[in-house]
A = this chain, B = another copy of it.
Amino acid sequence: MSTFFDYVDSNKDRFKDELFELLKIPSISADSKYKKDVKEAATFLENQLKSIGMDEVKLCETDGNPVIFGKHLKAGADKPTVLIYGHYDVQPPDPLDLWETAPFEPTERDGKVYARGASDDKGQAYIHVKAIETWLKSGQDVPVNIKIILEGEEEVGSPNLVPFLKEYKDELACDMVLVSDTAMFAKDTPSITYGLRGLAYMELEVFGPNRDLHSGVYGGAVQNPLNALCEMVAKMKDENSVIQIPGFYDDAIDLTEEEREAGRKLPFNEKEWLGAIGVDEGFGEKGYSTLERKASRPTLDMNGMWGGYQGEGAKTVLPAKAGAKISMRLVPNQDPHKIAKLFTEYCESIKPAGVTIKVTDHHGGDAAMTPLDFYGLKAAAQAYNDVYGKEPLFAREGGSIPIVADFERVLGVNTILMGFGLNSDAIHSPNEHFHLKDFYRGIKTSVRFLEVLSDYKP
């Protein structure tokens, strides 16, 4: 590996300069007046992939921003094929006055590069571009088959990614997807996220009388939609925070004893985590730790509720209707559509007398989990070990990354989430930054990963 690592070390400044060039482009996908800049970032990467010597590079138009698609398949059919994913669009930089240096004038301070997109995701995506270059320019071909797609709409929900995946399904065929768009568990603590939760997001409306009533004249003789809604919500979980919807847990895959054991060893400071959000005591499903509850167990949370008078003082109204947004985070093997149906049926079954209800299924997303014995994960762990000098942690995250479920559903493969950022990188916030040390270590880890991976048969 030393040849490759030497190449990285001796090209550090140029890699950084190139990254700065990319970071200077305000490729904000949420604002159409940056359309030209989004295109410029796409073209920059297209040219990059071509100049480093990939076999085939094309700019694929979509209904939105283009996807840059590169392929290099010299390793042969008996070697694994890895599909690298990244995105070149960025969040808007507002509020601008909170930035110490301008968001699109990348600046190096204390070993970090400050710029919008530094960590999310230009810096992390560019890691793999430079890793591929390292292989190709070091006089040796890449030992596995490489495909790379770089999209420009991640920050607006990737509306055209699934259509792209479906259109190019055959060309995208691979053994795994590699994504660097997450964070390490802590500084200098390489981490692999192997599980993400899914989501079923519902709206529950409760209708009572045909108009708002005077609570004096009518109160006591008419069902109150707000009281009815509260009663229904209270029946959704028991005193141990166990969700009461019949069948809810039937398909859920619980943590294995090995996972729980590994989880207990993660450097997670519960007191600090709760303290940061101003909470004195953890709260949740009985029998599980805070870390397990937030990442590996399904939930039912109200996201919003409304009804009646919300202003100052007192208004004696008995409201005609009430509503709530209620979402459930799901664990692997729970089908969001089935959960939405069970939720709806349960609501009908616990609806109090005197009201009617309407349940709307807003959207859902599958959970995702890469088996811990998947060879891609093993190769990633080895690569981390060789570069960072320590075993990576394996952890599950409580949020959802819809594209990971999309890759699994459309391409039928696992995703390896090899994050080089930190939770403190201020992504989506002013003063976003990325540690250059992890930019370089990331390139080396990617280089090494491709090498280790070649030892496995797909």
Contacts from A to B (Cβ < 8 Å): 197, 199, 201, 208-211, 213-224, 226-227, 229-231, 233-235, 237, 241, 274, 277-285, 290-291, 293-294, 297-310, 313-319, 322-325, 327, 329, 352-354, 362-363, 397-400
Contact = CB atoms under 8 A, between A and B. Distances in A.
Given A234-B230, A234-B231, A303-B215, A308 B325 contact: yes
A213 B302 CA distance: 12
A283 B223 contact: yes
Contacts of A279: 208-210, 222-223, 354
B303 A306 contact: no
B399 A301 contact: no
Contacts of A283: 221-223, 352-354
B219 A299 contact: yes
A301 B230 contact: no
A30 to B, nearest CB: 15
Contacts of A353: 281, 283
Contacts of A327: 215, 219, 314, 316
Number of copies: 2
The 5 nearest A-B residue pairs measured at CB: A210-B278, A216-B399, A234-B234, A304-B308, A283-B354
B294 A317 contact: no
A197 B315 CA distance: 16
Main secondary structure of the interface of A (DSSP, over half): loop
Nearest to A308: B304
A309 B201 CA distance: 13
A294 B329 contact: no
A220 B284 contact: yes
Contacts of A399: 214, 216-217
Given A209-B279, A213-B277, A220 B319 contact: no
A304 B313 contact: no
Contacts of A226: 233, 302-305, 324
Contacts of A220: 241, 284-285, 293-294, 297-299, 301, 329, 398
B209 A277 contact: yes
A301 B214 CA distance: 11
B278 A224 contact: no
Contacts of A299: 215, 219-220
B314 A309 contact: no
B318 A309 contact: no
Contact of A325 (B219, B314, B363): B314
Contacts of A322: 305
A310 B316 contact: no
A211 B325 CA distance: 18
A240 to B, nearest CB: 12
